[in-house]
Amino acid sequence: MQIVAEDKTKNQSSYRTLPLIPEIEEILLEEKANQEYNKKVFKKSYLNENGYVCVNTDGSILKPDYVSHKFNQILKNNNLKSIRFHDLRHSCASLLLSNKVSMKDIQIWLGHSSYNTTANIYTHVDTESKQNSALVIGNSLNFTEPSQDDDEEDEEMEL
């Protein structure tokens, strides 16, 4: 099997710069230290000349299906529902939306060229959002019964 490495994205909007979350920065620094150690151990046999972040211990490039294969193993080992690795993008979008992140910001985070792609495919309205929508509509329509105080004020106005 021949592995082809391409350093390009699907479309122009996929090129983006996002803030580095401190927890991820820590993991990346650990990986960098591991790679430095492995370079010393493997010496001239170390293969990561291109500086890839995710490589095997000897510096060789991961197989294209490595991440999805490992992801499936993690799900299975933890008795979790089987989903595609790509489905995490849907979960990410839905979590961002449920935490009041704007649809436009979610579009940028996911790298979609179209707002509609984000809005129609990648976000799933959760129960809390539906409840909130119902509450807003109910409040807007003002279905509340007038209080006794309101009735007394109406009577005073009529006099």
Phi, psi (deg, nearest 5) at residue 137: -65, -45
Q: What is the pLDDT, as a whole number, of residue 49? A: 79
Q: Report helix, strand or coil for 55.
A: strand
Q: What is the pLDDT, as a whole number, of residue 82? A: 94
Give the N- to C-terminal CA distance of the chain in Å, as an integer: 92
Quick one: which of 131, 112, 130 has its CA closest to 121?
A: 112
Q: What is the pLDDT of residues 93-139, one digit of tens each?
A: 888 988 889 989 999 898 888 888 888 887 666 666 777 778 888 88
Other beta carbons less than 10 A from residue 123's beta carbon: 21
DSSP 10: S
Q: What is the pTM of this model?
A: 0.63
Distance CA 121, CA 106 (A): 12
Interacting residues of 110 by C-beta distance below 8 A, sequence separation 6+? 89, 92, 93, 118, 122
User: What residues form DSSP beta bridges with 61?
Assistant: 55
Q: Which residues of the chain register pLDDT less than 70? A: 1-7, 13, 123-128, 143-159
